[in-house]
Amino acid sequence: MSEQRKYDFKKQHYAGEEGRLIPLLQRAQETDGYITRERITEIHRDCGIPVAQIYGVATFYAQFRLHPVGKNLIKVCHGTACHVSGANAITEAIEKTLGICNGETTPDKLFTIETVSCLGCCSLAPVIMINNDTHGNLTEKEVKKVLKQHQRAAIGEVQ
């Protein structure tokens, strides 16, 4: 983020409460888009939670990110239904089209690919979600079209 917003964790919400770390990490990620080293240091300093514990929780739960993501977060479902319906081929098509691998962000910061265990859309397998848009029953050709639509939308062209 170009403008770093200060978030004071000291005596803020959840102070002294058991289980406060997850809400604090959620707040930090909401503020910065991901959990920065600076936020981890602030939480440690202001709340007294050991840094190792903070990193342990932040890396255990899939909801937390330690790196920034692109404008369009592509979640590729690899649940059972999607897996048997070709999720690996869909992931490979996305990686080839964008020139990045799972977990990476394009140099223009437009896309990030993330495989997930399940999106809960088994009847649409294989399925991806780009931000809040769900795309199902995909083929390699169709997923490339979806990506092109999002690329055009990002540069202001009509879909």
pLDDT in tens, 73-131: 999 999 999 999 999 999 999 999 999 999 999 999 999 999 999 999 999 999 999 98
Domain ranges of the chain: 1-68, 72-154
The architecture that CATH gives domain 72-154 is: 3-Layer(aba) Sandwich (3.40)
CATH of domain 1-68: 1.10.10.1590
What is the pLDDT at residue 153?
87
What percent of the chain stands above pLDDT 90?
Answer: 72
Which is it for the CA torsion 6, 12, 15, 18, positive or negative? negative
Mean pLDDT of the chain: 88
Q: pTM of the prediction?
A: 0.73
pLDDT-based confidence at residue 156 (cuts at 50, 70, 90): confident
